Homo-oligomer: A and B are copies of this chain.
Amino acid sequence: MIEDKNQQPTPLSELGEFGLIDHLTKQFDTKQESTVKGIGDDAAVLNFENKNTVVSTDLLIEGVHFDLSYMPLKHLGYKAIIVNLSDIYAMNAKATQVTVSIAVSSRFPLEALEELYEGIALASKIYNVDVVGGDTTSSTSGLIISVTAIGEISQNDEVLRNGAKPNDLLVVTGDLGAAYMGLQVLEREKEVFKVNPNNQPDLDTYTYIIERQLKPEARKDIITLFKDLDMKPSAMIDISDGLSSEILHICKQSGVGCDLYENKIPLDPQVISTCEEFNIDSTTVALNGGEDYELLFTISQHDYPKIKANPNFSVIGFIKEAQAGVHLVTRAETQIPLKAQGWKSFND
């Protein structure tokens, strides 16, 4: 879990609760103008002047959302922040602050938490958000991370899920399915390792998809780009559960239908080759894999020239009236109703 640095692990009980909080959070100074008071009081105090405040929250549970046998703690800390910032960007907002609460069992030494917080600090620095609060407590089993992300947005600039209109174009950033295939590779290597711990895996051909799983990025750049292009999507959502269920969210909340074109779904060559290797259909992976943290949005056709030549964007579908339904138009030009696979973890 931690690197061998020839040092004795420090049990958490040595610091106590307050010592631990102080130790882990002392590195966080605040840089955002909107942060009036950060860590160290009953609550953080923020000032967004006459802007709107945007708030989103997520829980990450060991054994459900991550597996520490292949997820380095520093990456986990980084990802925990990214996952939440992605929701703020999906509102077309600027992310400004996060609070981070963790619960850990005593099997984690202090050095493990330091690594986790290194990742949290790195993401906060790169995405320019202040860590303004949180809670550190013990758990009976494993590691639990709860992050709340806060952002600001000028009034009426927010983009909700409910604004898609018939004849709008459906657009996605980046490419899809890579994080899911990265997970498949990591799971396979874990099984190999169990059988033969001396086997050194060669993961060179999977670097992109593994990075998408272990160290995803959030599309802060796209929100800046929208401003530069002087455009505002009619509806937007981030892709955490999978393209399929996110399209259904937009369609349900906007009261519209949609045709999604299979041949337009952006896939990285490494995703295609790994899907072939694993004998999985790449469209299914893009539709239901999830954890892409790309942005899915709709725009008026009027805005099409603004995004047309930009390699960040792929037009993948067309918004229709509600009664047309929500369909995947396959390469063979057949229409298949889209279903939300979502995240089936309540099935045991």
Contacts and interface: CB of A to CB of B under 8 A. Distances in A.
Interface residues of A, number: 80
Contacts of A134: 57
B57 A47 contact: no
Interface string A129-169: 00011110111111010101111010100101110000000
A178 interface: no
A106 interface: yes
A137 B64 contact: yes
Given A45-B52, A55-B46, A344-B17, A103 B150 contact: no
A294 B16 CA distance: 24
A53 B35 CA distance: 10
A54 B45 contact: yes
A335 interface: no
A18 B139 CA distance: 27
Contacts of A37: 158, 160
Contacts of A135: 57-59
B344 A160 contact: no
Nearest to A340: B18
A93 B346 contact: no
B138 A345 contact: yes
Nearest to A249: B18
Nearest to A152: B53
B346 A97 contact: no
A342 interface: yes
Interface string A26-44: 0000000000110011111
A186 to B, nearest CB: 19
A97 B158 contact: no
A42 B238 contact: yes
A305 interface: no
Contact of A137 (B55, B59, B236): B59
A347 interface: yes
Given A55-B148, A137-B345, A42 B99 contact: no
Contacts of A63: 140
B43 A99 contact: no
A345 B20 CA distance: 12
Given A61-B137, A138-B345, 18 more contacts: A13-B344, A16-B346, A20-B346, A36-B158, A42-B238, A43-B54, A44-B55, A45-B53, A45-B158, A46-B55, A53-B53, A57-B101, A59-B135, A63-B140, A64-B137, A64-B140, A103-B144, A148-B148
Interface of A: 11-13, 15-18, 20, 36-37, 40-50, 52-59, 61-65, 87-88, 90-91, 93, 97, 99, 101-103, 106, 132-135, 137-142, 144, 146, 148-151, 153, 155, 158, 160-162, 236-238, 245, 253, 340, 342-348
18 contacts: A13-B346, A13-B347, A20-B346, A41-B162, A42-B236, A43-B55, A43-B91, A45-B153, A46-B52, A55-B97, A55-B99, A59-B103, A64-B103, A99-B148, A103-B144, A138-B345, A140-B142, A146-B146
